[in-house]
Structure 1
Amino acid sequence: MRLSLADALAVTAALTILLDFACATGSASTLAISHGSATVCGVLSGASLQSIQCVRAGSTSLVPFSVFPNASFLSISGGRDSVCGLRADGASFFCWNTANSSSSTFAPRRVYEGSVVFEELAVGDLHIAAVDRNRTFIEWWRAYGGFPSNISGSYRSLTSGRGFTCAVNSNGSVRCWGPSVGEIEDAFANYSMSTIVAGESHACGIDTAGRLICGGSNNSGQLSPPSSSAFEFGSVALGSNHTCAVRKFNGVVVCWGGDAGGEYTPANTTAFVFVVADGNITCGLTTENYTVLCWGSNRSELALTTLPLPRVLPGACTSNESSCDCGPFPDSGTLCSGSGVICRRCDDRIQPSSPPSLSPPQLPPTPPRASSKRTSKGRLVFGIIGSVGAFAGVCSIIYCTWFGVCRHKKVHNSVQPTIAAAGNGASHAHSSATGAGSSLFTSPSGSQSRGFWRQGSRVMTRQRSGPSSFKDRAEEFSFAELAVATKDFSSETKIGAGSFGTVYRGKLPDGREVAIKRSETGPRTKKFQEKESAFQSELAFLSRLHHKHLVALVGYCEEGEERLLVYDYMKNGALYDHLHPKNGDESTFLNSWKIRIKVLLDAARGIEYLHNYAVPPIIHRDIKSSNILLDANWVARVSDFGLSLMGPESGAGHLSMRAAGTVGYMDPEYYGMHHLTVKSDVYGLGVVMLEVLTGKRAIFKDAEDGNPTSVVDYALPCIVAGEVRKVLDERVGQPALQEAEAVELVAYTAVHCVNLEGKNRPNMTDIVANLESAVALCEGSFESHGNISSPCISPSGD
């Protein structure tokens, strides 16, 4: 039975979301699928302009509508909720969000326009990749941790999947980038490849010997192709858990994997030029009249639907026939309306003259394992290294025992933090699940963020985050000295309050200006201090940590019940006071988006140091705008470690702790489930990002009904819908061209940071990288690659 695509694929898309499947892949083509909204787009043939039309399968009527009726496009590529199109001149590309548009229109946005001309475009789940026309480098947009900004080399057959991009090098080797790509890249290590196509978590391609090679996830049998001969398959398409290929000798499509595993022929004897897939949807361009035929991967309800799109180009139109290494496509002049030709696929010219025999099966050979000789050498090297390590360990133990270096020494009572758990129960670490599940706001790094560390990355991050070292022993002051410095703690020297006391401005006898935090007295405060050990905790942490983006501890005072901490004075106060000035006074400092993003970057670098370089990691627990201070040079520093705790040694588990912090900034998992992780700080920073972008307090009164509203609830709907400008702080004004890209990058990063599930939030290294990119955009660092403006990739994962 032939059902409408609205009935068949809309159900498929809905099931895809319910089953939490992520987006599949994008490779350059003239046909693209955005499976999250069951939208199919094509580059049309037979007209002077190669324009784009789309069909939204979820609508009640399958009526196509134009996205770009007045422009020519070279190719398009799709993700879960977006499609991107590369202009015919290659000097710009646009993207449009298919999930948040009305049923009759899309709102394209220019992501790139500049002097560099690109040839291929590939959209992944959270990133876009492109190869320049001269094939000298690959560049990424919206690329989170694990991706370089660009990579030099001669590459072709660019393709992107869920969190990774692959391409074929000029020597036939496959290179992949992104987190956890080793398994996929290794599968092609022993082959010289002609093409490669990515799926959600697997990839397949044709090698120079004409064999179909696949690697990656095989949870549904998607890596188990039917028996085939060399050069049997041409076009290959990969979805979330299935694979399809066109048999070259007759154009018939065969698929395998999916809900039932094994192979099947979805369109019987229909011949296709090529096929594309995304999620659980596959579409093919028929050879008969270049119409588009689509089907879902649920074989129990397999339905074929011919889309009402005009004829779609079987390939990209190029103005130079001499650039076609393998000659032009038949009748390509007519298809391109006399404005160019379509190059024939080079593997078509070497196809067998007669249908190949399907028996005996000729499966790709298994990649050879290393020889026993190589293994023996590896074991020998491992043994030598192990012996040296053991000897060094024994020497270290002897040295520590002899000289007492390993003995614990007490420095001002608290070099090593003492975590008091009175009233809280044991603060032991629990292992937490870090599966790759996704949600509406899938984390850029996801649960695999710790899995792709390379040895050099920590060094690079330390350089990026600024100098750090262990601080000299803090000074000990008498209470009388600090009383004189603050005019006996007079109200005129009071400048704020911290997690366990009031902060005063003071001046030491040697002329140094300092901030002095004094714990309050009284039974209520004393009980709080006993539970949280705020003074001892902050003294311990700041005594052993030193970083340019952490507030510097000068000294302390312990006399009787008095507990005071002395810091470097931050002349320009707290970020909160500049965002929300009293008495209507406007800050003249935070009047540009560049400066605001730079402050966020400074704070992120400080938190990154706590999470990545303190052993074990330090969880701040109270990240908020009032704890981000600005020194005399407007450099931001994280302050107030009164609630800080040492996290699990691995950074991968959680602490079971009673919730503490500030309402509006507190991690929902920590507040509701008492699960504290380093991702709790990420949530707080995400709220600060939204606070900086909108100018709204973390909790503010709604202007319409006066009810309390969180900045998260206020900002997220607009950001997710791609309408960031609607929530930006009017006091700063709308961002300029280059600033627009930077501001939206910060906004989308913030959305990921405030994900309800900690495992789906990015880590601090990824956040720092994004904020660095945003600052660079504001400073015009990408001018050599042209002006980058409004992005299309939404935080929902396209």
Structure 2
Amino acid sequence: MTSPFSGAVIFAAVISLLTSIFLPFSNALGSSATTLAVVYGGATTNTTTICGIIASQPIQKIYCWSENQPAATQISPELSFTSIAGGLNGFAGIEAGGISLLYWNSKFEVKRLFISYSTLLTSVTMGDTQICALTNGTQTVRCWRDHTEQPPPLAQFMSISSGLGFSCGIFKSSNRVICWGNNSEIAEAIQYGFENITVVNIFVGGKHACAMNTSGFVICRGDNGNGQLDIPSSFAYEYYGLALGEKHTCGIRKTNYTVVCSGGNGTFSSNVTKGFSFEAIVAGLDFTCGLTSDNFSVVCWGPGWTSNLYPSGTELPLPMILPGPCVRDTCVCGIYPQSETLCSGNGNVCRPCDFLDRVESPPPPALPPVFMMVPSSPSKGMRKGLLAFVIVGSVGAVAGFCTIVYCIWTGVCFGKKKIHNSVQPTITTSNNAAQQCYSSGQVSRSSTLRRQGSRLMRRQRSGTSSIHGDRAEQFLFSELVAATDNFSLKNKIGAGSFGIVYKGKLADGREVAIKRGETSPKMKKFLEKERAFESELAFLSRLHHKHLVGLVGYCEEMDERLLVYEFMKNGALYDHLHDKNNVEKCSSVVNSWKMRIKIALDAARGIEYLHNYAVPPIIHRDIKSSNILIDANWIARVSDFGLSLLWPETDANFSQPMRAAGTVGYIDPEYYGLNVLTAKSDVYGLGVVLLELLTGKRALFKTSEKGDMPMTLVEFAVPAIMAGELNKILDPRVGLPELREAEGVELVAYTAMHCVHLEGKHRPTMTDIVSNLERALAVCDDSHDSISSSPPFIISD
């Protein structure tokens, strides 16, 4: 069992790694840990100066260029620096090793603000005249010059940035934003705007700030008078770095390292930077400068860039600038290309963990690191497919013949769709969910490698089985009639894929749930009932897992088809969330975030077993809250295998043309629209269930009592999650989560958001979902005794 402590450590480590990846390229008006800085003049001195730490020199010196001088000037040539930051009429720099902080005014007169051989500095930020730096080890913040309001003295920070009269940082303990400074009104407004949003980095401008939340989306708050908050954001981790000026925002897109800007009333033309790719950008008041990827030169652009000698988009006369600080520490994800030359043997420039060769293959957008999995390589899969085609080419004719027979038998050839709606009434909708694309991309490899390495030892060989199963008891119809009081309505407890479910008590005293197939005399209904009965009996007779409903036995007499299950005392999750008798009961056991996350984890483990450890794998095809049952010990189990299908064991990415089946609101839009089934269809259904657990709303609901068109839960919840407004949609019966719970609830929300991505290839696997929910539950737990679910069922072969 994953302990709360280990889960919290993993979560913190992920966030820490994420911050370390993004931090070197975080360049707002008050830049932090950068090698490029902008110094802007005030009312008396309207001179702009650009400074940078030069590359390929034994001493990492600072060079500066300004409008009133023809060539660059070196600053304090005897000292090496790791990072610099610029502001009003001056700039600051951290000496190599972090032992001191120096400040230069517009005349390049230097003053030492700080020196210590025990408390070292790692990054500096400057906005207007205030200067703040982050310490190494303790990760506290110290501020100098015109800072009447200081941050909490003992608080630990992940990231800091400064704007015009205020600074902001991110608490390491909670990933929450706090702001301080002389401009308290703006500081308070920005801090309030990020209330209850967990982020991993912060970028501050004039009167606005942007942050990257834990799902990789950019969220901006503050003044939007010039459109500076409207930085386009289409998918997670779209940006490699941001730069915020007084009234504009610019970002480097990770896909091609080009720059896009918003604000400035449309005066930041993209034509100026067309053809450039950038390693880093930093903003002045009303212009932005960037470090180019081709030769590490500096170009600037924007309405406030007034140089006649070097107009917008022209390289400034500065030496080659370092793309990041030269450090002597071990680089977790490798060193930057040309690092030895760039640092001239004095350390290395650490490359971001998601860095790829931009010249040969621009990196695709990535999912939040919380998804620890490796999607199968399309090219690798294609190579395998071609090889398999050569090997089995001799049987191609037979396979083609079988495909034709299967096509005719299932009705796929005729485009038939079966939408099963055993709980909710059938509602025809325009499938608005399918019109929204919530992007993601590749993810981390560690979890899949870890799980794949032990898969052979973990997989339970369910083997082949006769349709009746070796372990299923056979009952007489008369026995089940007696057990249910002749199928009395008072014993009716639900409905399944092919019939009504009744509570029963066998002659030996065992409480069971009995599903009776529909008794309709129509041939079509009988065939559907027969197929569902045979499917569920075949699956359940050989599947044995803690999070799957267990089969007790069956009855097959004349036209009667009945299945007998273990009785789930606490009913279906759907009833706890939506039944009228429970909606107003705020004291329900399910009305706690820990319990809801635990139920989600239990269900995910059951589905993961079907996908990864059953042989051959099984796709459920009807994952929904009414098919997640809860036993007497409040353990959730997946039920109803009437629509389930076997899947090829050899190819996890296998897809098959298949007539659509499922339940409105839960069915995968890609499956419904294209008739192509994959394992990711179950992922979509579980994603909707996760949203149900978060919001308490049905998968399909009306927004008012006026008979309005129904809204899907996906289109209701996902935009709020993307906007960082999760608290607005959380189930009020549970209430707002506490501080530790909030991190777990947010992790569930981001997981759900990716599960319901329109395209199946961008959804996580069940292995990834289980890992995320394990961490979410661990983060919520306050002690080892807190309620939690058991680890996946493991049996060695």
TM-score by length of structure 2 reads 0.51
Amino acid at match of 2:682: D
- Matching residue within 712, 715, 727 for 2:714: 712
Structural RMSD (CA): 5.4
The aligned counterpart of 1:672 is 673
1:694 is matched with 695
Matched, 1:454 2:449: yes
Superposed CA offset, 1:646-705 (max 9, x none): 134412122212111111111101111111111111111111111111111111111264
Cα distance change, pair 683–27 in 1 and its aligned pair in 2 (3 A): same
> How much does 1:350 deviate?
5.2
CA distance in 1 between partners of 2:147 and 2:556 (Å): 70
Match of residue 441 from structure 1: 438
Please state how far the C-alpha of 1:52 moved relative to its aligned partner.
6.4
Structure 1 residue aligned with 2:742: 740
Matches within 5 A, 1:129-528: 240-241=255-256, 277=279, 282-283=280-281, 293-294=289-290, 304-305=300-301, 422-425=409-412, 441-443=438-440, 445=442, 453-454=448-449, 456-457=451-452, 459=454, 473-524=471-522, 526-527=524-525
Whole-Å separation in 1 of the counterparts to 2:619 and 2:480? 30
**2:753 aligns to what?**
751
Maintained 8 Å contact 2:475/2:553: yes
Tell me the amino acid that sits aligned with residue 409 of structure 2: A
Q: Is the 8 A contact 2:174 2:739 kept in 1?
A: no
What CA distance in whole angstroms lies between the structure 2 residues aligned with 1:711 and 1:552?
30
Going from structure 1 to structure 2, the CA distance change for 1:525 and 1:608 (only over 3 Å counts) comes to farther
- 1:590 Cα offset (Å): 1.0
Q: 1:761 to 1:602 in 2, by over 3 A?
A: same
- 2:606 is aligned with what amino acid? G
Asked if 2 retains the 8 angstrom alpha-carbon contact of 1:682 and 1:761, the reply is yes
* Partner residue, 2:632: 632
TM-superposed CA distance for 1:294, in Å, is 2.8
Q: Distance in 2 between matches of 1:497 and 1:110?
A: 40
Task: Give the equivalent residue in structure 1 for 2:575.
Answer: 577
User: d(CA) in 2 for partners of 1:688 and 1:461?
Assistant: 30
Q: CA deviation at 1:425?
A: 3.4
User: Which amino acid is the alignment partner of residue 714 of structure 1?
Assistant: F
Q: CA deviation at 1:456?
A: 4.7
Give 1:635 deviation, angstroms.
0.2
- Residue 596 of structure 2 is matched in structure 1 by 596
Q: CA deviation at 1:574?
A: 0.3
CA distance in 2, matches of 1:778, 1:752: 21
Distance 1:755 1:43, change over 3 A: farther
Q: Helix, strand or coil for the counterpart of 2:502? A: strand
Identity of matched residues, %: 49
Aligned equivalents of 2:457, 2:440: Cα separation in 1: 23
Residue in structure 1 matched with residue 22 of structure 2 by the alignment: 26
Matches within 5 A, 1:637-652: 637-649=637-649, 650-652=651-653
> How far is 1:479 from its partner?
0.9
**Cα distance in 1 for residues equivalent to 2:687 and 2:549:** 20
Matches within 5 A, 1:605-620: 605-620=605-620
Whether the 8 Å contact between 2:176 and 2:199 is mirrored in structure 1 is no
Q: Would the aligned equivalents of 1:551 and 1:639 in 2 still touch at CA under 8 Å? A: yes
Q: CA deviation at 1:487?
A: 1.3
Return the alpha-carbon distance in structure 2 between the equivalents of residues 553 and 53 of structure 1: 67
Q: 1:308 to 1:705 in 2, by over 3 A?
A: farther
Give the match for residue 265 of structure 2. Answer: none
**Gap change, CA 1:652 and 1:504, over 3 Å in 2:** same
One-letter identity of the residue aligned with 1:644: S
SS of equivalent to 1:693: helix
Residue 546 of structure 1 aligns to a residue whose secondary structure is coil
Other-structure match for 1:725: 727
Counterpart of 2:640 in structure 1: which amino acid? Answer: D
- TM-superposed CA distance for 1:125, in Å, is 10
**Residue by residue, what CA displacement relative to the aligned partner does 1:552-608 show, whole Å, maximum 9, x if unpaired?**
001111111110101000011000111012245526111211101100100000001
Partner of 1:539: 537
Distance 2:172 2:340 in 1: 22
Report how far residue 493 of structure 1 moved.
1.4
Number of residues paired by the alignment? 483
What are the residue-to-residue correspondences of 1:2-17 with 2, within 5 Å?
A: none
Partners in 1 of 2:147 and 2:566 — Cα distance?
57
User: Matches of 2:303 and 2:447 in 1, distance apart?
Assistant: 42
CA contact (8 A) 1:284 1:293 kept: yes
Unaligned segments of structure 1, at least 5 residues? 1-22, 35-39, 55-65, 79-83, 115-122, 129-161, 165-197, 201-236, 245-257, 267-275, 319-323, 327-344, 353-417, 429-438, 784-798
State the one-letter code of the partner of 1:621.
R
- Name the SS for the 2:772 alignment partner: helix
Q: CA deviation at 1:527?
A: 3.0
- What does residue range 37-186 of structure 1 map to in structure 2 within 5 Å? 45=91, 71=151, 76=159, 107-108=193-194
Mapped contact 1:442–1:761 kept (Cα < 8 A): no
Question: What is the Cα deviation at residue 548 of structure 1?
Answer: 0.3
CA contact (8 A) 1:421 1:531 kept: no
In structure 2, C-alpha distance between the alignment counterparts of 1:669 and 1:238, rounded to whole Å: 28
Separation of aligned partners in 1, 2:609 and 2:343 = 57
Distance 2:555 2:776 in 1: 42
Contact in 2 for aligned 1:699/1:709 (Cα 8 Å)? yes
Amino acid at match of 2:728: K
Output the amino acid matched with 2:300. L
Q: Residues 683 and 755 of structure 2 are in contact (CA less than 8 Å); yes or no, is this contact kept in structure 1?
A: yes
**Deviation string, structure 1 residues 321-368 (Cα, Å, up to 9, x no partner):** xxx999xxxxxxxxxxxxxxxxxx99998579xxxxxxxxxxxxxxxx
Deviation at 1:633, TM superposition (A): 0.2
Counterpart position of 1:558:
556
The alpha-carbon deviation at position 528 of structure 1 amounts to: 6.1
User: Partner of 2:766 in structure 1?
Assistant: 764
User: Which residue identity lines up with residue 676 of structure 2 in the other structure?
Assistant: H
AA partner of residue 422 (structure 1): W
